[in-house]
Structures are given as structure tokens and as C-alpha cells.
Amino acid sequence: NAGVTQTPKFQVLKTGQSMTLQCAQDMNHEYMSWYRQDPGMGLRLIHYSVGAGITDQGEVPNGYNVSRSTTEDFPLRLLSAAPSQTSVYFCASRITSPGAYEQYFGPGTRLTVT
């Protein structure tokens, strides 16, 4: 299994540009989530999904959109990038069985918005 994969690894955007960060997992996990990691802030939850067609907001959802059309994929869209969105983005997944909370993380996407 490849686990959780993310593309691209690095991206530079200009303010106002749009892009989609890709996330895929091959573990048949129902739960997927997106976090951003900023220096001194730890990881903050952006959006999450408990299954195909079901998404919800996390702590910092503004400026980001998500959709979940398949179990495997959970893309994160930036509609109009802002410098405040410069960060490292991590996708994670886990199963949703009771008591199963261990999350598996992707390698991250480092995004710079100029």
C-alpha cells in the first residue's frame, strides 16, 4: 500500500491564483482530513470528511473548499490564494470504527503564496 499520498510536494502561487492540493489514500479509510501547519502553531484542522459525499468544517475553513466524491480522494481547493495561506498542508486518513483513532498522514505539501 502507498498509504496517504499528496501532490504536489511544493507549490508557489501568486496572490489571487487558484489551485487544488491532491490527496489520495489506498487503505479504504472512511475518514479523511486536511490540516495546515504553521511555525509555533502546530496543526490546525481545515476540513474533514467521514465518507464520500460528507464533509464538514474544522478550525480554520475560510478560504478553502473540499469535496469527497470517492472514498480514495479528498482534494483541497484554494479559490483565491492569499499570503496568509502560506503553510505546509497535511492530509490524513483513518478508519471510523469505534475506538480506531490513529491517523495516517501524508508527506505534506509546502505552499508559498507571494
Say whether residue 105 binds another protein (CB under 8 A).
yes
Q: Are 44 and 103 in contact (CB under 8 A)?
A: no
Q: Are 23 and 73 in contact (CB under 8 A)?
A: yes
Cis peptide before 8 (omega within 30 of 0): yes
Say whether residue 34 binds another protein (CB under 8 A).
no
Nearest to 7 by CA among 19, 21, 27: 21
Say whether residue 74 binds another protein (CB under 8 A).
no
Say whether residue 59 binds another protein (CB under 8 A).
yes
Which residues pair with residue 20 across a beta bridge? 77
Q: Which of the stretches 11-19, 21-29, 55-63, 68-76 binds another protein when contact is defined by CB under 8 A?
A: 55-63
Q: Which residues contact 101 (CB under 8 A, 6 or more apart)?
A: 94
Tell me how far, at minimum, the Cβ of 110 lies from another protein, in Å. 9
Say whether residue 26 binds another protein (CB under 8 A).
no
| Residues making contact with another protein (CB under 8 A) | 4, 31, 33, 35, 40-45, 48, 50, 56, 58-59, 90, 92, 96, 99, 101-108
